[in-house]
Structure formats: C-alpha cells, structure tokens
Amino acid sequence: MNTLWLIPIAAYLLGSIPFGYLIVKMGNGSDVRGAGSGNIGATNVTRVAGKGAGLATLLLDIGKGYLAVWLAMLWSHGNIRWMMAAGVAVVLGHTFSCWLRFRGGKGVATGLGVFLAVAWQAVLATLLVWLVVVAFWRYISLGSVVAAAALPILVYLFYAPGHAPPLAVSFGSVAVAIIVIFKHRENIARLIAGTESRLKRKS
C-alpha cells in the first residue's frame, strides 16, 4: 500500500503545532495573540514573554520545518518531490494552523528550517540578506520580506551550483516565499504608510 500521500498531511499537522502560543500559555497563562503584534512567532513571543521564550519558539519553529523534510526524506527514500511537498505543507501548517482556527505565524523560521534540510548554503545567504536589510533600514518585517523574495534565487544558485535544481525545489521555494510574503501583507501596508515599527538603536 502506497502511503506517500500521507507525507504532506503529516507535515501540515506537524507545522500546525503552535509552539509560540503554547510556550506563552504555559509560561504566564496569557494568549500571545492578544498582545503585541498578535503573532505567534518568535519576535512577538520575545516581546510578550522574554528572550528565553522567544529563543525557544525560534528553535522549535525552525526544528519542525527541518524535521518535516527529514522525515519525508526517510519516508520517501530521498524523493525530492515528496520532501518539497512536506516543506510547503509544514509552512502552511505553521501559517494556517488547524488548532488556531487556521491562523498562525508568518512562516519565516519554519521556512528556514525547511531549506536547512534542502540547501543550507542558501539559508546562510538568505540570513545574510536579512541581516543587511535589517541593519540598514531597521525593519524586521522588511528584512523578512526581502529575504523571502530572494530565497528562490538563492536556492536556485546554491542547491546544485552550476546546475538547475529539480523543478520541485524551484516551485517549492517560490511557494514558501509567496506564503511568507502574503503573511506579511499587513506589515507591507504599514511599511508603505510609514507606520511600521523600527528596531531601536542602542545608545
């Protein structure tokens, strides 16, 4: 019996685990969605519950992205199509969690976890893009949007240098980038309006 079709379903359910929400709920009993930006990701968890909670959220969100692809690799005996299906599904699970009425995070950390398992060099380059944008303009959201837009290009360049990656990898990286950018649509509107919050410079 072919059970490979279960891979994206399992990946979606894994991605749906709202670690940020659970960490804050277990820590101080509050709902992280009702504070700060209302997001369940590491940035807002840090604002609401501190750096330790934010770091734990970041690592767990990255981890579930990596784990989904790694398990798909084992399940499918290294079939990159099923690995990328799992990668897109786990990001969808994180951003549209079935446990949170199909709301969730913005997919940045989970997406990084996915591509750590697929093309880690592209992840390092993407992080560099993020750091440069944030350092110059001091908008975390802008860094995330620009890095997401750059991801498909960087994956294309670093997946197999000198060779085009499989179409599943290219389409998967574009799909993840679109999801992340879509989830930042409110941030983009605030950036255009000039009302987005900036990182404060340390004196």
Q: Look at residues 82, 37, 46, 84 and name the one whose alpha carbon lies nearest to residue 65.
A: 84
The token pair that represents 96 in the structure block = 């549209």
Domain coordinates in residue numbering, the chain: 6-193
Buried b (16+ CB within 10 A) or exposed e, 122-145: bbebbeebbeebbeeeebbbbbbb
pLDDT at residue 199 in the model: 83
Question: Could you report the per-residue pLDDT of 106-121, keeping only the tens digit for each?
Answer: 999 999 999 999 999 9
Q: Are 85 and 8 in contact (CB under 8 A)?
A: yes
Q: Are 53 and 23 in contact (CB under 8 A)?
A: yes
Q: Are 186 and 106 in contact (CB under 8 A)?
A: no
Mean pLDDT of 143-155: 98
Q: Is the pLDDT of residue 167 over 70?
A: yes
At residue 36 the predicted structure's pLDDT band, cuts being 50, 70 and 90, is confident
DSSP character for 77?
T
Q: Is the pLDDT of residue 35 over 90?
A: no
Mean pLDDT of 39-58: 94
DSSP, residue by residue, 166-196: PHHHHHHHHHHHHHHHHHTHHHHHHHHHT-P
Average pLDDT of the chain to the nearest whole number? 95
At residue 103 the predicted structure's pLDDT band, cuts being 50, 70 and 90, is very high
At residue 201 the predicted structure's pLDDT band, cuts being 50, 70 and 90, is low
